[in-house]
Structure 1
């Protein structure tokens, strides 16, 4: 067995960590988990799934409390049928809020009107508060005659890509702020990760195209300076990843006991993968 010398370097109290379930002991009620055997490429998808499920559970729990009903009754009546019909209840609620789809008519169960209204009301409030923010940092400068005015026009070209729809309605909101010349922060707020990623890339491309054209129009392309200082990312993700990397390095340098017991064949598979 590998022993843990410092539990604080492996995991922090209050921090949610993705773990691989190795074994469940129903009699003793133990769950054998492993942090090391979690595939890094699987983490984002499961974190997103966990966040969606947590949001759905919060809505159903609030509705059950509001009408003084058993939580299991609400789940069987409305929540689980949504999973069967849409793959995930979050997707069903999203269709109802953003596309005004009558999701309850497609369910195999009868849901009272007051329960429907309460679920949709809570879901609408959750989706309105929810949002993903993408951020990037670019350096833009122009040493030609137009100077700052050329930079302003280039940044405005990026701002024009901001959608008229609000983020909670499926749009993407673009904002650009000055940090210190020539550095500018580009931010995009939306509710869909693919939409935000596509939008922020389009904004950066529009700025680069506009400032390049300014150089061509004045006959001096060398007057243009454009570079991406920080690549587009979900805000807060960089610090989180750095923290995870530090913990990973610390855990690899120390001996750990990750499990309550040895699972036959699992160690051999892990050794082969390594």
Structure 2
């Protein structure tokens, strides 16, 4: 069961709940992220549209996203609303929930490998990643990308870091964005030295972030292909712009002609 560090949610939190009991006056829900803590959904908080019976909206065993509208931490009493959850909030929470489930599975596999419990995995790894990266799965994505270093930075000890990094790399495949450009570069006066200088000028001028790959291909002079792969569109676009600007500047300085076009469908 995916878990939170807190024993009860806070006011206005979005939570995942499983409908346990349905009555004419409302429904009781168990909160999946809080150890099955029991919460209540008043009848008036079930739907913003008219219905004849609460059972038209809810059914026992149904999982849904709810919003916390009242909470008494001392007495561990929580009231929820279904009707106050917007479509955007529901989508966002479900994404968060799925990421948390994937994170817990990786922690569980690491715990099994080290002959430890899932509770120990959360204590030694999970909560430290949450403190450092803001989300456990975000920390595991970093581990998939950068290995043990990403975990050690968060205060995870070396033994756990090695096990978790290995499992993260096996189970998390980060999506990549690819951009490709056709470059036309001619250096009549400077010849091959000017050409090489222009095509490699970016290497000293542009810093390539970790996880990004840059490749050049010769298609037959004066045509060259530039491929850039990054983890998101923003980084790929920014790096493309910087590399092309650097090549253009060096080309112009050597009296070369330079032009490029972005390739569609790449």
**Greater fraction of residues in strand:** 2
Q: Per the shorter chain, which TM-score range?
A: 0.3 to 0.5
Q: TM-score, normalised by structure 1?
A: 0.46
Larger radius of gyration: 2
